[in-house]
Amino acid sequence: MNREENTTKPAGILRRRRSALLAGVLAVAVTGFAAGQIVPQVFSPAIAQITTDRPATQMSFADVVERVSPAVVSVRVKLDEPRVTTNRDGMERFGRENLPPQVEEFFKRFFGDRAPDFRPGPGPRRRAQGQGSGFFISADGYVVTNNHVVDKSSEVEITTNDGKTYAAKVVGTDPRTDIALLKVEGRNDFPWVKFSAGAPRVGDWVLAVGNPFGLGGTVTAGIVSARGRDIGANTYDDFIQIDAAVNRGNSGGPTFNLAGEVIGVNTAIVSPSGGNVGIAFAIPAESVNRIVQELKETGTVTRGYVGVQIQPVTKEIADSLGLKEQGGALVADVQPNTPAAKAGIKVGDAILSVDGERLKDARDLSRRVAAKQPGASVKLQVLRDGKEQTISVTLAKLPDQVQASKQPDQGKDDDTGDTRLGLTLAPAGSVAGAGSEGVVITEVDPSGPAAERGMQSGDVILEVGGKKVATPADVREAIAAARKENKANVLVRVKREDTSRFVTLPVARG
C-alpha cells in the first residue's frame, strides 16, 4: 500500500490518511462500491468449492479465485511533486507521536517500547512513483482504489493480471474516506466484480487479492476477525478486521466472500515491521455505495452537517443524566448559525436516536448524519432535563475543513479551589486571556480526580450539573447539590480554547 490523514497536516497520520500501510505501523486504504448500481449488467462469479461434506484435502478456493482475479489490477502512478518517502512503494513514514491514540495504545500493549519510530526525512528531488491495488467495478472501465494511491499524481496507469497496461484518469476522490474512482477508456468488456449486498459475519471466510510489494496479483485467505473497529483514522471509522495476510501494496485491493462478492477494501494494517501480523482492516462495502455514486456523477462527495461538537455518553455521563444505559451522543457545544442552533439543539442535550433508530455511540451519529444529503430533514430524539423530546433538523453541507482546537495557555495560580477534586479555581474574568464567562482552572493536582479525567490548567468550567457557574463558590455549591441528590458523578462542561466538552467528576461521599 502506498501512502491516516493528512489532507490537513495537524492530524498527522489521520487526515492525510492514508499513507499506505504505515511503514511497519499503519497503512490506510479504503472501500468499495455497489457495482450493480453502476452498470446494468450482472456478473455472478462462481462459488468456491468449499463444502462441509468434502474431506479437508479437497477443499479449495481455486474456483472463486479464478473467476475474480481478472478484475483485480495493479495501480501505478507518477508524481510531479514527490512525497517524503523512504521505501520503494512511496509510503510516507511518521513518528509515533503522530499516530492515532488507538494505534499508539496498541503498540504500548503489545510491543512496549520496542516498536520502531519512523520519522520523515527529506525525500530526493526526483520524479517519484507510487503503487497500489484496485479493481474493476464495471465492464466499461470504472476502477476503485485509494485516494492516497493516486494523490498528487500526474499520470495513472493500471495493469491487469494478463500483463496489459492501460492509462487511467481520476474521476473523483474523497480524502475523508480515502476513496478514489478511476476510469479506463476504450473497452466495454473488462472483467468486473460486484459488491455484496449483505454484511459479513465474524468467522466468515474471506479472500484478499492485491499487489503486495509490487509482486502482482496475489491471493491470501483468512476470516472476519471482528466488525465495527475504530482505529482513529477518521470520524467515520467502521472497519472490518480480517486476518488474511495483507501487506504494503495491497492498498485499494478487494476483500471477497466465497461468492466472489466484494465485502470491503483492504485499508490498513498494524505491524511493528511493515509485514503482515494478522491484523488488517477493510472498510465495509455497504458504507461506500453512496460515495461511489457521487464520485461517478459529480467527482466529489457532499455530506450532511448538523453543527455540534459531540462526545460519547459514557457510563458515568449516563448515570449523571439519569440514563439507564450508555449510548448516544452528548452535545458539548453548538456552533452558531448552524442547523443545530436554528433547530434549538442545546449544550447538554443527549442525542439518543436519528429518525427513530437508536444510536450506538457518538461516531454512529456522525456516520448517520454524514450519509444524508444537505437539505434533508432528520428527526433527532434528545434527552433534556430528564425528559425526551424530538427535534427536526434540516441538514446543511459539511464544511470542507474543521478548524483544529488549540492547546490552552497556562492560567495563573489562585488560592481558591475544591481540594477534594484537586482543582484550584478563579473567576474567568480575573485571569488574563480566560474570557469573561465561567471559572478558570489555575492549577490541577496531578494525583486528583480532575487530573485523572484530563482537566488541565487553563480550562474554563462553564457549567456544573447543568447550571452555569461564574465563581468558585458556584462550583462548590453545584457539587454539594449533586451530593445531596446522592449522585455518584456530576457533569461538568469545560471549554478549552475553541472546543467544549463534558467531563464527569466523582462527587459521592466517602
Asked if residue 178 lies in contact with residue 29, where contact means CB atoms within 8 angstroms, the answer is yes
- Spatial distance between the Cα atoms of 314 and 239, rounded to a whole number of angstroms: 22
Segment 5-31 shows an average pLDDT of 37
pLDDT of residue 50: 46
pLDDT category of residue 23 using cuts at 50, 70 and 90: very low
- Predicted confidence (pLDDT) at residue 179 exceeds the cutoff of 80: yes
CATH at 114: 2.40.10.120
Last residue of a domain, one of 299, 332, 362: 299
* Mean pLDDT value of segment 11-18: 38
Based on the domain organization, do 310 and 290 belong to the same domain?
A: no
| HSE, side-chain direction, 13 A CA sphere, residue 498 | 8
- In this structure, is residue 409 part of a structural domain? no
In the chain, how many domains are there? 3
Q: Give 17's pLDDT tier (boundaries 50, 70, 90).
A: very low
Residue 233: CB partners within 8 Å, gap ≥ 6? 4, 5, 14, 17, 28, 100, 178, 239, 267, 268
Here the CATH number for the domain that contains residue 460 is 2.30.42.10
Give the pLDDT of residue 101.
Answer: 57
Name the most confidently modeled range: 21-35, 58-72, 232-246, 313-327: 58-72
Q: Are residues 272 and 386 in the same domain?
A: no
Is 385 a residue of the active site?
no
Task: Say whether both 162 and 194 belong to one domain.
Answer: yes
> How far is it, in rounded angstroms, from Cα 368 to Cα 406?
28
Residues in contact with 48: Cβ distance below 8 Å, sequence separation at least 6, in sequence order: 60, 61, 62, 63, 64, 65, 258, 260
For residue 367, is pLDDT > 90?
no
Question: What is the radius of gyration, based on Cα positions, of the chain?
Answer: 25
**Is 336 found in the same domain as 268?**
no
Nearest residue to 33 via CA among 192, 250, 188, 262: 262
Looking at per-residue confidence, does 367 or 97 come out higher?
367
Q: Which grid coordinates are listed for 169?
A: 484518469
- The domain boundary residue, chosen from 299, 332, 357: 299
pLDDT, mean of residues 20-41: 36
Q: Answer yes or no: do 167 and 107 share one domain.
A: yes
Q: Tell whether the model's pLDDT for residue 212 goes beyond 90.
A: no
Q: Which pLDDT band holds residue 114 (cuts at 50, 70, 90)?
A: low
Task: Note whether 350 and 472 are same-domain residues.
Answer: no
In angstroms, the CA 371 to CA 309 distance is: 18
Give residue for cell 433538523. 393
Q: Is the pTM of this model over 0.75?
A: no
Tell me what pLDDT residue 46 has.
40
313 and 205 within one domain: no
pLDDT exceeds 90 at position 391: yes
pLDDT for the residue 20: 39
Higher per-residue pLDDT: 509 or 198: 198
Is 377 among the domain residues? yes
Residue that is last in its domain, among 281, 299, 317: 299
**Rounded CA gap, 183 and 344, in Å?**
45
Give the separation between CA 44 and CA 196, rounded to whole angstroms. 11
Mean pLDDT over 393-411 rounds to: 54
The type of residue at 128 is: A
Range of the domain at 267: 1-299
β-pair partners for 395: none
In-domain check, residue 176? yes
Which is more confidently placed, 289 or 380?
A: 380
pLDDT in tens, 468-482: 888 888 888 888 888
Q: Domain check: are 153 and 86 in the same one?
A: yes
Side chain identity at 273, as an amino acid letter? Answer: S
* Within a domain: 102: yes
Mean pLDDT of all residues belonging to the chain: 76
Q: Are residues 149 and 295 in the same domain?
A: yes
Q: Is residue 408 part of a domain?
A: no
Asked whether residue 138 is assigned to any structural domain, the reply reads: yes
Same domain, 385 and 475: no
Find the DSSP H helices in 360-508: 362-370, 449-452, 472-484
Per-residue pLDDT reduced to its tens digit, 144-168 = 988 888 888 889 999 998 999 999 9
Q: Are residues 177 and 97 in the same domain?
A: yes
pLDDT at 170: 95
Residue 286 falls inside a structural domain: yes
Mean pLDDT of 426-442: 76
Residue 405 lies in a domain: no
Mark whether 162 is an active-site residue. no
DSSP 118-142: ----PPPSS-EEEEEEEEE-STT-E
Of the residues 74, 196, 225, 251, only one is catalytic, namely 251
Active site annotation includes 148: yes
Same domain, 470 and 371: no
Given the residues 151, 178, 237, 349, the one annotated as active site: 178
* Position 388 pLDDT exceeds 60: yes
Catalytic residue among 148, 243, 271, 459: 148
At residue 159, φ and ψ (nearest 5 deg) are -120, 125
